Amino acid sequence: MEVQTMQDKAIVAPESHRISKRLVTGFGFGLILVLILAVYSYFSFKMVVVSGESMLPTFTSGTRLLVGNAYWLVGPVKDKDIVVIKDNNPTGYIIKRVYKSAGEVVDWYNVPKNWSLEQGEYKVPADHVYVLGDNRAVSEDSRFFGAVESSRILGKVVLRK
């Protein structure tokens, strides 16, 4: 007489049980993926509201903008991009257009107000951008406060609503 042990016997689950286990595993993976994307989007994209007239006619006060700092997705900040910059006020920000990037020369008409002709041409310092508002007559921009450190850029405008 032969004695069988549990090691000799394979326990086979019914086919319906295996399918439902795959569905649960797939659903769990999908849920985790959606959660990761939601967290990533939360930190990579922000909604801001335009306040003031410095970006007229491009944006009117009250316009909502989606700003992204996922540069691998939206591309690096370059000349003519519209960016949102962290203001000195902890909860504030300013919206301006990148006029010149690091190493580029700013024309005499747009140099900082405290820059004199005797100092020669104005070059944007490394790791900085020079920003201007589209409505130059009312915009307080790099002509008043100088070039902005790139680390202060919260992101670039990717969508207007």
106-140 pLDDT, tens digit per residue, is 999 999 999 998 999 999 999 999 999 999 999 99
pLDDT tier at 83, thresholds 50, 70, 90: very high
Q: What pLDDT, in 10s, does the model give residues 3-48? A: 555 555 555 555 555 555 555 566 677 777 787 777 777 777 888 9
Residue 117, exposed/middle/buried by CB under 10 A (0-12, 13-18, 19+)?
exposed
- Helix runs in 13-54, H state only: 15-44
Contact 124, 106 (CB under 8 A): yes
List phi, psi (to 5°) of 51. -135, 120
Which structure tokens are listed for 11?
């326990």
Encoding tokens for residue 108? Answer: 């005499």
The pTM (predicted TM-score) of the whole model is 0.75
Q: How confident is the model at residue 84 (pLDDT cuts 50, 70, 90)?
A: very high
Closest CA to 101 of 136, 152, 149, 141: 149
pLDDT at 10: 54
> Which two three-digit tokens encode residue 132?
């201007």
Give all strands (DSSP E) within the chain, no chain letters.
Answer: 45-49, 64-68, 82-86, 93-101, 105-106, 122-123, 128-132, 148-149, 153-160
CA–CA separation, 113 vs 134, rounded Å? 18
